[in-house]
């Protein structure tokens, strides 16, 4: 078996990837007037995405109150600095989010998976070039 520990290709990839890994990519959820400029989602790294899906799985096995979809959205929403705004274990947060128009939480979910997919990588690449 060949070790790739010190290959030039590995070093080049790591050096290139670190440039993109330096900053969080925080993106405003668009098209949710009058809630614009308040809700953001963050591009997650592999560890964060694994934690996200693990928490969602815990919701399915731990709650039977019909609010698991709202709990998932609570995990997705951050402020413009990337800090969580709502907590899936806080009943008051869940009640607030559950009372929002469904379009708002649908837009959050769509944008979360958009930013954590190909569009997010393109945005990260553009942001790195501009900084």
pLDDT in tens, 42-54: 999 999 999 999 9
Residue 44 to residue 35: CA distance in whole angstroms:
23
Closest residue by Cα to residue 100 from 73, 127, 64: 73
Predicted pLDDT of residue 131: 54
Is 80 strand, coil or helix? Answer: coil
83-103 tens-digit pLDDT: 999 999 999 999 999 999 999
Residue 35 to residue 69: CA distance in whole angstroms:
20
Query: By CB neighbour count within 10 A (0-12 exposed, 13-18 middle, 19+ buried), where does 29 fall?
Result: buried
Residues with Cβ < 8 Å from 119, sequence gap 6 or more?
none
Residue 124 to residue 25: CA distance in whole angstroms:
6
Residue 3 to residue 39: CA distance in whole angstroms:
45
- For residue 2, pLDDT beyond 60: no
24-130 CATH pick, 1.20.1300, 1.25.40, 3.30.2220, 1.10.3470: 3.30.2220
The pTM (predicted TM-score) of the whole model is: 0.80
Cis omega before residue 34 (within 30°)?
yes
């Amino acid at each position: 078996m060949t070790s790739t520990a010190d290959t030039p290709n590995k070093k080049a990839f790591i050096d290139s990837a670190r440039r993109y890994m330096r900053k969080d990519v925080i993106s405003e959820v668009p098209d949710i007037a009058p809630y614009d400029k308040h809700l953001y989602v963050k591009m997650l790294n592999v560890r964060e995405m694994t934690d996200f899906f693990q928490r969602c799985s815990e919701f399915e096995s731990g709650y039977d109150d019909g609010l698991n979809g709202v709990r998932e959205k609570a995990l997705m929403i951050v402020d413009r600095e990337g800090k969580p705004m709502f907590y899936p274990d806080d009943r008051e947060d869940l009640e607030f989010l559950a009372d929002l128009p469904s379009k708002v939480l649908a837009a959050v979910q769509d944008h979360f998976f958009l930013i954590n997919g190909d569009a997010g990588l393109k945005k990260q690449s553009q942001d790195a070039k501009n900084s």
